[in-house]
Amino acid sequence: MSHTRNIVILTGAGLSAESGIATFRGPGGLWEGHRVEDVCTPEALARDPELVHRFYDARRARLAEVAPNAAHVALARLDAEWPGQLLIVTQNVDDLHERAGANRLLHMHGELKSALCAACGDSAEWEDSLPPEIECPNCGTPALRPDIVFFGEMPYHMEVIETALSDADLFVSIGTSGAVYPAAGFVQTARHHGAQTLELNLDPSAGSSLFGESRLGPAGTLVPEWVAEMLDRG
């Protein structure tokens, strides 16, 4: 990877697992005890807004009890020190990348600490709970929802991400099961444009065979090792 300049890094729930945030499909395929279709679809929000809001309120409150781990810290260091282009694309809705100091970061699936108005489309930083009846600070309509990309909705920043993938020399996927599209297809886009590809994950992901190299283990160990290699070579 001696000629690597442009790096795109995709991160998923596995990156935050060692910080104590549960990954998506825990025991029995449930996310924190809920079926995914009951808490992260537009239909669920329409059917039972109280449940969906309560679920994300609990996830948001949990952020105050957790801290970035060695993997977030190493990626923030790479972001600060890497002289070429770099983009961290996270599927995570937690705020651990930014709390570790990462700047070149996009949240493609939204953020817990943001509220989105279904009436005017405005989004606002949100720290506390988000009752369904609360009014939008911009337009006054009681239509605020968690700023989370639900299944069936379009992820954020796709144009910028596609451009970065087509310019990448190296694509690295960390702590993601490769089950959720379009993120699961990024490895193919990057390869198609000639990038080298590396996966760092606890278990082989669904798309493991698509990567040029796979390293298996916990992100808190693998990511600092990989970042040290990159900065030594750069």
Q: Which residues bind Zn ion (CB under 5 A)?
A: 117, 119-120, 122, 136, 138-139
Instruction: Establish whether 109 is a catalytic residue.
Output: yes
Structure tokens at 31: 């996310």
Q: What's the min distance (Å) between Cβ of 125 and ligand NAD?
A: 17
Cis peptide before 182 (omega within 30 of 0): yes
Q: In whole angstroms, what is the distance from residue 73 CA to residue 101 CA? A: 7
Q: What's the min distance (Å) between Cβ of 83 and ligand NAD?
A: 27
Under rule CB under 6 A, which residues in 148-187 are in contact with ligand NAD? 175-177, 179-180
Q: In whole angstroms, what is the distance from residue 80 CA to residue 83 CA? A: 8
Q: How many other β-carbons are positioned within 10 Å of the β-carbon of residue 103? A: 11
Q: From 20-28, 49-57, 81-89, 114-122, give the range in contact with ligand NAD by CB under 6 A.
A: 20-28
Grouping H, G, I as helix, E, B as strand and the rest as coil, residue 1 is coil
Exactly one of 53, 97, 107, 109 is catalytic; name it: 109
Dihedral sign, CA of 185, 42, 87, 208?
Answer: negative
Under rule CB under 6 A, which residues in 78-137 are in contact with ligand NAD? 91-94, 109
24 binds ligand NAD (CB under 6 A): yes
Minimum CB distance to Zn ion smaller for 61 or for 120: 120
Dihedral sign, CA of 61, 92, 14, 223?
Answer: negative
What distance lies between CA 68 and its chain's CA centroid? 14
Residue number of the CB atom closest to ligand NAD: 14
* Active site residues per annotation: 109
Enumerate binding residues for ligand NAD (CB under 6 A). Answer: 12-14, 16-18, 21, 23-25, 91-94, 109, 175-177, 179-180, 201-203, 205, 218-219
